[in-house]
Homo-oligomer: A and B are copies of this chain.
Amino acid sequence: MSHPAKYFSELIISGLQSVVGNRKVALHEPSFTGNEWLYVKECLDSTYVSSVGKFVTRFESDLTSYTGAKHAVAVVNGTAGLHLALLLAGVGHNDEVLMPALTFVATANAVSYCSAMPHLVDCNPENLGFFVEKTREYLSDTTEQRAGQCINKTTGRVIRAMVPMHTFGHPVDIEGCLRLAKDFNVQFVEDAAESLGSLYDGKHTGTFGQSGVLSFNGNKIVTTGGGGAILTNDEKLAKKAKHLSTTAKLPHAWHYVHDECGYNYRMPNINAALGCAQLENLPEFIAKKRNLFNKYYNCFKDKAGVSLVHEPEKSRSNYWLQTLELDIADEKEQNKILYAVNEAGFMVRPPWKLMNTLQPYRNVPAMNLDEAKRLATTLVNLPSSQGLLG
């Protein structure tokens, strides 16, 4: 280890002070500087606050315009979106789903809701996401193709899908993912919960896979209070997603006929009203986040032992969460730094705990996770609100 924890704490605190000033700062706060009041009030005045209403339709339409996806289905949160997207990908009882070890637990939980099992993949340090090359080697060794299905030779289970996640807004190697999915016969679902506004090869994340899932949680670049959406170019899938998210009710003026076990996963109209206003400001939010990245970059670029995570090749990131990588050896050091910087009033945090360290996922299949382990220890998220610099 080249520097003690104190070195990093002081470096980060003085860096943050120089960029955001000497004040208490949250990790991420939403900005309501546009038509939020107007639309939410209009929604209340209409009395259509719930399942029916023009804002849900408009929000879905605005999402397709913005992302270029042919269809968008608004849902109650990103977790619900992932659950439906996996069901649409055919994930079911006793299947396995490839997903990053370093992600928010919702990705793994959504797999569990399908009675399937996460199968954990290492992290590519270039983009903090799904490590395509390593997974290709791993799958070549550990799976076989049988009747057009990818079979885990150890467990005998079908690996039905892969769910890369665009960590902190940075797109994974999507081309590599597409090839991998094709070569190994697994469905490709994009967990784009953090990457609204992020492009890969000029195209919006979440629009490459069979479907992509967005989140509009309060900590995201755009929020609806709680909310999410499924993006897809497949009309049939979009209809099925809408059907499943609205209790699988068949259209009828008064009869309640449901043709399968559906879910109450629709987004309420009042939340969509908020979303419509937020989306209008998304380009401005991204510009501000990219500006914040530049400020942090200039602040930390010449400092020994730290580097600011930047957008990967071929990508334009929304820079949802700014991230420093520290040249430290272990979690103990990381905790000391986190403690000191948080104490100083700047909210910083580590990435999530790796999925295989959590009680419910301790025994799921996993490849070697050395990079993910390292990154879980060396990364620190910095205050990243779009409104941070005014």
Chain A positions within 8 Å of B, measured between CB atoms, are 29-32, 36-37, 40-41, 44-45, 47-52, 76-80, 104-106, 108-109, 112, 115, 217-219, 223-226, 247-249, 253-264, 266-271, 274, 338, 342, 348-350, 352-353, 358-360
Q: Report the nearest B residue to A253, measured CB to CB.
A: B342
Cβ–Cβ < 8 Å partners of A349 in chain B: 254
Cβ–Cβ < 8 Å partners of A104 in chain B: 256
Asked whether A79 and B263 contact (CB < 8 A) given A44-B40, A255-B350, A256-B352, the answer is yes
- The distance from the CB of A335 to the nearest CB of chain B, in whole angstroms, is 9
Select which of B44, B51, B261 is within 8 A of A226 by beta carbon.
B51
9 closest residue pairs by CB, A with B: A50-B218, A225-B268, A79-B264, A226-B268, A254-B349, A225-B270, A256-B352, A49-B225, A261-B360
Q: Report the nearest B residue to A331, measured CB to CB.
A: B255
- The distance from the CB of A361 to the nearest CB of chain B, in whole angstroms, is 8
Cβ–Cβ < 8 Å partners of A47 in chain B: 29-32
Cβ–Cβ < 8 Å partners of A218 in chain B: 48-52, 268-269
Cβ–Cβ < 8 Å partners of A258 in chain B: 105, 358-360
How many identical chains are in the complex? Answer: 2
Q: Report the nearest B residue to A110, measured CB to CB.
A: B264
Cβ–Cβ < 8 Å partners of A76 in chain B: 76-77, 226
- The distance from the CB of A351 to the nearest CB of chain B, in whole angstroms, is 8
Known contacts A37-B41, A40-B44, A105-B256; 12 further A-B pairs (Cβ under 8 A): A37-B44, A50-B217, A77-B264, A225-B270, A225-B271, A253-B342, A254-B338, A254-B348, A255-B353, A257-B358, A270-B271, A271-B271
Question: Is B264 touching A274 in the complex (CB atoms < 8 A)?
Answer: no
Can you list 13 A-B contacts (CB < 8 A)?
A30-B47, A48-B218, A49-B225, A79-B263, A108-B261, A109-B247, A109-B263, A112-B261, A218-B269, A226-B271, A257-B358, A258-B358, A270-B271
Select which of B30, B48, B51, B223 is within 8 A of A217 by beta carbon.
B51
Cβ–Cβ < 8 Å partners of A352 in chain B: 256
Question: Is A226 touching B266 in the complex (CB atoms < 8 A)?
Answer: yes
Cβ–Cβ < 8 Å partners of A270 in chain B: 40, 225, 270-271, 274
Select which of B225, B259, B359 is within 8 A of A259 by beta carbon.
B359
